[in-house]
């Protein structure tokens, strides 16, 4: 009955993709209710590859929607997003993703 | 890059993340992170327990310059599991100290006349409660390895401890900090072995009330540690202030820095024993009793007075014994 960390992976595609130039960016601290993200440039034919590692289960659909919105709003393309989460709420997730992107600019 | 570094200088040390501290303590643009998030060396143990992981396992390690001096930096992140030391975290800490000593050996082997100002130093920004209980054996072993590395640095590489972050420096890491050569703290820094909450848990609220912030700070905080002589330099709560104190300390010769250490000679042990005697004689009930023994007539005034005034008025046990 071992409890394992939950891993969620999926791919998204922005409706209006823009060029994402930085090859690597890291932002955030995995504090309680917080998360970190690595954004890395990858040649994915315009897609965004997402990997989330979290102790929380049952919110896969919420993660997908939050990430979908982020990708569509920002136009991020050809990138991999790796998230280590520790119970961040959707609002915090959105904020951290945008902060990470502004670090890149 | 440079304007980002300038911004960091003004920031509160207490509020700053581990990476911000590491970047801001060394000269602008000189910090190179080693085994950072890019390498994704996170804990192999936490996933099995269903606990969140971090790409850097809660510690930033790297190299930079302060003036001409190569500095090997470790900076702990208290927001990730209280900055607790697990296997990877501990290995990164032990190895950055090892790297500094190896660099020293190699530099001196190729140039025995290398001026002191160009010799390496270690800087550790503590923000930790000690061993990470989820991986306790590995964490404890890591403490021992770090202490081992400290011993190998003796006579070669100075180790400077910085304490002014949220979690403070407690548990086994309290011992590690005490084994460094110089401890720089802010008044918000806290240093001790058993943390306030643990004392309360074990001994009861009558013995120690961990929710009493004033009590916690006058027993473990920077001002108290400065009076006791455990902390060598007390600075304001900004990255620039810590960096300034660091530059001043690193500007000294190694022999002078080693002399500031709390341990390492018979005289230093005799000083510690005098404090034990003093404790037996006066049976203090509160930190303020000890401050009085140090020669502070009105210890009550010391807690709230501005830092500058505190530094000019305070009498320290080190002056007296």
Residues of A engaging B, defined by a Cβ cutoff of 8 Å: 2-5, 24, 26, 29-32, 34, 36, 38, 53-55, 82, 84-87
Q: Among the listed ranges A11-20, A53-62, A78-87, which one has the minimum average pLDDT value?
A: A11-20
Q: Tell me whether residue B276 is in a domain.
A: no
Looking up residue B30, the CATH number of its domain turns out to be 3.90.226.10
B18 neighbors B10 (Cβ within 8 angstroms): no
Q: Tell me whether residue A1 is in a domain.
A: no
Query: Quick check: B53 and A30 CB within 8 A?
Result: yes
Is residue A3 over pLDDT 80? no
Q: Tell me whether residue B8 is in a domain.
A: yes
B2–chain A nearest CA distance, Å:
15
Edge-to-edge strand order for the sheet containing A34-41?
A6-13, A47-54, A79-86, A34-41, A24-28
ipTM value greater than 0.85:
yes
CA dihedral A30, B81, B172, B142 (to 10 degrees): -60
What pLDDT score was predicted for residue B75? Answer: 98
Query: Quick check: B50 and A5 CB within 8 A?
Result: yes
Q: What percent of chain A has pLDDT over 70?
A: 93
What pLDDT score was predicted for residue A102? Answer: 84
What pLDDT score was predicted for residue B319? Answer: 85
Domain total in chain A: 1
What pLDDT score was predicted for residue A105? Answer: 55
B184 neighbors B160 (Cβ within 8 angstroms): yes
Query: Tens of pLDDT along B13-24?
Result: 999 999 999 999
Domain total in chain B: 1
What pLDDT score was predicted for residue A1? Answer: 40
What pLDDT score was predicted for residue B131? Answer: 95
What pLDDT score was predicted for residue B115? Answer: 97
Is residue A21 over pLDDT 90? no
What pLDDT score was predicted for residue B179? Answer: 95
Distances (CA, A) of B295 to B47, B313, B315: 53, 11, 6
Query: Quick check: A29 and B42 CB within 8 A?
Result: no
Query: Tens of pLDDT along B173-189?
Result: 999 999 999 999 999 99
Dihedral of CA B18/B24/B25/B31: which sign? positive
User: b/e string for A63-95 if b means 16 or more Cβ within 10 A?
Assistant: beebbbebbeebebbbbbbbbbbbebeeebbbe
Q: What is the distance between the alpha carbons of residues B80 and A33, in angstroms, rounded to a whole number? A: 11
Q: Is B233 exposed, middle or buried (0-12, 13-18, 19+ CB in 10 A)?
A: buried
All residues of chain A having their beta carbon less than 8 Å from the beta carbon of residue B88 are none
Domain that includes residue B49, residue range: 2-191+230-264
Domain that includes residue A20, residue range: 6-104
Q: What is the distance between the alpha carbons of residues B125 and B173, in angstroms, rounded to a whole number? A: 11
Residue A4 banded pLDDT, cuts 50, 70, 90? confident
3-state secondary structure of B185: strand
Looking up residue A24, the CATH number of its domain turns out to be 3.30.230
Q: What is the distance between the alpha carbons of residues B118 and A36, in angstroms, rounded to a whole number? A: 36
Q: Tell me whether residue A19 is in a domain.
A: yes
Query: Tens of pLDDT along B42-98?
Result: 999 999 999 999 999 999 999 999 999 999 999 999 999 999 999 999 999 999 999
Query: Tens of pLDDT along B197-245?
Result: 999 999 999 999 999 999 999 999 999 999 999 999 999 999 999 999 9
Query: Quick check: B53 and A53 CB within 8 A?
Result: yes
Query: Tens of pLDDT along B289-302?
Result: 999 999 999 999 99
């Amino acid at each position: 009955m071992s409890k394992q960390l939950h891993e969620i992976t999926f791919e998204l595609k922005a409706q209006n993709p823009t060029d994402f130039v930085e090859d690597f960016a890291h932002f955030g601290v995995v504090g309680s209710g917080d998360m970190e993200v690595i954004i890395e440039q990858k040649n994915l034919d315009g897609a965004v590859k997402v990997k989330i590692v979290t102790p929380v289960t049952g919110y896969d659909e919420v993660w997908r929607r939050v990430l979908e919105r982020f990708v569509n709003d920002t136009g991020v393309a050809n990138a991999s997003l790796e998230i280590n989460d520790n119970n961040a709420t959707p609002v915090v997730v959105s904020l951290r993703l945008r902060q990470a992107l502004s670090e890149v600019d | 890059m440079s304007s980002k570094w300038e911004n960091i200088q003004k920031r509160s040390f207490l509020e700053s993340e581990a990476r911000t501290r590491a970047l801001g303590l060394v000269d602008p643009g000189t910090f190179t992170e080693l085994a950072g998030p890019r390498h994704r060396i996170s804990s192999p143990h936490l996933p099995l327990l269903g606990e969140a992981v971090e790409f850097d396992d809660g510690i930033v390690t790297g190299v930079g310059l302060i003036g001409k001096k190569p500095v090997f930096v470790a900076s702990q992140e208290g927001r990730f599991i209280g900055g607790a030391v697990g296997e990877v975290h501990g290995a990164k800490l032990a190895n950055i100290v090892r790297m500094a000593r190896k660099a020293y050996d190699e530099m001196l082997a190729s140039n025995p006349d290398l001026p002191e100002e160009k010799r390496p130093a270690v800087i550790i920004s503590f923000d930790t409660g000690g061993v990470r209980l989820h991986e306790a054996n590995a964490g404890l072993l890591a403490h021992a390895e770090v202490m081992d590395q400290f011993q190998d640095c003796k006579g070669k590489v100075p180790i400077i401890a910085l304490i002014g972050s949220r979690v403070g420096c407690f548990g086994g890491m309290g011992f590690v900090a005490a084994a460094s050569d110089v401890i720089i703290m802010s008044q918000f820094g806290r240093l001790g072995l058993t943390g306030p909450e643990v004392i309360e848990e074990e001994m009861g609220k009558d013995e120690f009330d961990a929710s009493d912030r004033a009590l916690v700070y006058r027993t473990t905080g920077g001002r108290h540690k400065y009076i006791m002589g455990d902390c060598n330099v007390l600075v304001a709560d900004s990255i620039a202030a810590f960096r300034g104190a660091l530059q001043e300390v690193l500007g000294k010769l190694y022999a002078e820095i080693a002399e500031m250490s709390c341990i390492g000679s018979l005289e230093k042990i005799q000083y510690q024993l005098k404090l034990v005697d003093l404790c037996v004689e006066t049976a203090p009930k509160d930190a303020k009793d000890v401050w009085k023994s140090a020669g502070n007539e009105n210890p009550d005034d010391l807690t709230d007075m501005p830092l500058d005034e505190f530094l000019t008025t305070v009498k320290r046990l080190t002056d007296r014994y």
